[in-house]
Amino acid sequence: MQHIIDRFISYVTVDTESDPSSQTCPSTEKQWDLANKLVEELKQIGLEDVTIDENAYVMATLPSNVEHEVPTIGFIAHFDTSPDFSGANVKPQIVTNYDGGDIVLNKELNIVLSPSYFKDLLQYKGQTLITTDGTTLLGADDKAGITEIVSAMEYLVQHPEIKHGKIRIGFTPDEEIGRGAHLFDVKKFGAEWAYTMDGSQIGELEYENFNAGYAKLTFSGKSVHPGYAKGKMINSILLANKFINKLPKDEVPQKTTGYEGFFHVHTVSGSIEESVVELIIRDHNLKKYEQRKVFIDKLAKKFNKKHNKKFGGPIVSCEIGDQYFNMKQKVEPVMHIVDTAEQAMKDLGIKPLIKAIRGGTDGSQLSYMGLPCPNIFAGGHNFHGKYEYVPVESMVKATEVIVKIAELTATNAAK
Q: Is 175 a catalytic residue?
A: yes
Closest CA to 203 of 332, 337, 394, 359: 394
Q: Can you list the positions of beta strands (E) in 271-361?
A: 274-283, 316-324, 353-354
Q: In whole angstroms, how close is the CB of 58 to Zn ion at the nearest point? A: 16
- Which positions ≥6 away from 323 have C-beta within 8 Å? 212, 213, 214, 280, 360
Residue (151 or 361) nearer to Zn ion, CB: 361
Min dist. Cβ of residue 33 to Zn ion (A): 19
225 is in an annotated binding site: no
Cβ at position 145, least distance to Zn ion in Å: 7
- Asked if 51 and 42 touch (Cβ cutoff 8 Å), the reply is no
182 annotated as a binding-site residue: no
Residue with Cβ nearer Zn ion (14 or 215): 14
The alpha carbons of the chain give a radius of gyration, in whole angstroms, of 25
**How many whole angstroms separate alpha carbon 168 and alpha carbon 334?**
19
Do the annotations mark residue 381 as ligand-binding?
A: no
Would you say 142 or 206 has its CB closer to Zn ion? 142
CA distance 110 to 352: 36
What lies within 8 Å, CB to CB, of 32 at 6+ separation is 26, 56
80 catalytic? Reply is: yes
208 annotated to a ligand binding site:
no
Q: Tell me the three state secondary structure of residue 237.
A: helix
> What amino acid is encoded at 261 in this protein?
G
Catalytic residue from among 15, 142, 175, 407: 175
Q: Which is nearer to Zn ion, 151 or 200 (CB)?
A: 200
Shortest approach of Zn ion to residue 120 CB, angstroms? 17
Residues contributing to the site for Zn ion (CB under 5 A):
141-142, 198
CB of residue 22 to Zn ion, shortest distance in Å = 18
Backbone angles phi, psi at 124, to 5 degrees: -115, 20
Strand 375-377 with 73-78, pairing = unpaired
Question: Do the Cβ atoms of 357 and 210 come closer than 8 Å?
Answer: yes
Residue 271 burial by Cβ neighbours in a 10 Å radius (0-12, 13-18, 19+): exposed
Q: Which amino acid is at 42?
A: L
d(CA 116, CA 101): 9
* Distance of closest approach, residue 81 Cβ to Zn ion, in angstroms: 9
How crowded is residue 132: how many other Cβ atoms within 10 Å of its Cβ? 27
Report the Cα 124 to chain-centroid distance in Å. Answer: 24
78 is in an annotated binding site: yes
SS3 (DSSP) at 7 = helix
Q: Is 111 helix (H, G, I), strand (E, B) or coil?
A: strand
Catalytic residue among 80, 148, 174, 206: 80
Query: Binding site residues for Zn(2+), as ranges?
Result: 78, 141, 176, 198, 384
Active-site positions read 80, 175
Query: Binding site residues, as ranges?
Result: 78, 141, 176, 198, 384
